[in-house]
Structure 1
Amino acid sequence: MTPLEQSSATRAICAAAPVVPVLVLDDASTAADLARALVAGGLPALEVTLRTDAALDAIREMAQVEGGIVGAGTLLTAADVKAAKEAGAQFGVSPGATPHLLAACQEYGLPLLPGAATATEAMALLEQGYDMLKFFPAEAAGGAPALKSLASPLPQITFCPTGGVSPQNAGSYLALPNVVCVGGSWVAPASAIAARDWAGIEALAREAASLTA
């Protein structure tokens, strides 16, 4: 899978809704119900971060949910890519990009949304064929004004800003011409997951799905 093909695939996934939920799960038994709630609320693309021991099992559970597009976040190594693909991940997300990680995603045919925080990083990925990127850490890297400044010199690159994005500032990102969607964790609070408040999470997803610039 070439970088251009990967970017085309991740752009289509990102365009499915204005928000991609960023999920940290400690209990895989909640994964399927969580996915159903988010999908019902209008957020089909789901990023499960590989930050817990339950993450791969959660991806396996979510991969069975109709209408969901489950991805693996926090990909750092080739081993992460292999494990995510085998668990059923349909796309991957990384905080940055390394040659080994990019090569593994190409080898295993996993569409990757690689992270970039600077013009140099974005240009390096574009040089390799990636034109759909994650802007991370969005707020710490300058927020919407910083991302806006990249639009004119790098109009061929589009982004999914993640990191510090909230309902309060999401609109400022979504208004930018080089933003396809945003990534955020607010739609699935840990407290709501622990309480198995699927109706509450669906409501949060519905609000997020209606976000505009």
Structure 2
Amino acid sequence: MTKRHEAKYKIDRRLGQNIWGRPKSPVNRREYGPGQHGQRRKGKPSDFGTQLRAKQKLKGYYGSISEKQFRRYYAEAIRLKGDSGENLIGLLERRLDAVIYRAKFVATVFAARQFVNHGHVTVNGKRVNIASYQVKPGDVIAVKESSRQLAIVIEAAALAERDVPDYIDADHNKSTATYTRTPTLTDVPYAVQMEPNLVIEFYSR
């Protein structure tokens, strides 16, 4: 099992939720946490605990985002006009690795980060290898022609467990996707309930 798979399943078990909706998640078999104390009854969490859990869940969903980077998204979200929680979701969904994952060019967010870092992706015809690159509405994201027959790309397109959301116009025959607009929380097909407003509260304490 790869290090990335271990990280993915560890996040699911720690949170007690199948946050990506993956059929092989260990939470599908048992919902309690890992280790010998995983089945102990837990008391009612404090407000801080609830906010921390919401933060860990949202941060974990997008893969290998550092705490420093995630805090920068928070700072940008509160600087922008409108609802800060919605702004935070919009910034996360504009990440290039998130768009690659949503377009079903790869199977997981972890694979998406690696796929971008290895130079398989272009934005508006120019190669971009930075996973955190912020995509703008109207941008055309494509898998490089030499990478389109990779098994990881072919297998991901055939996955039945999730659909491409309507704010991304994907063409799997050409391995291209157009980011049409920045989504709101209700537009994003999370497998579990995300609570970005609790994340904002956590950082604004």
The normalised TM-score by structure 2 is 0.28
Structure 1 or 2: more strand by fraction: 1
Looking at CA atoms only, which structure, 1 or 2, has the larger radius of gyration?
A: 2
The normalised TM-score by structure 1 is 0.27
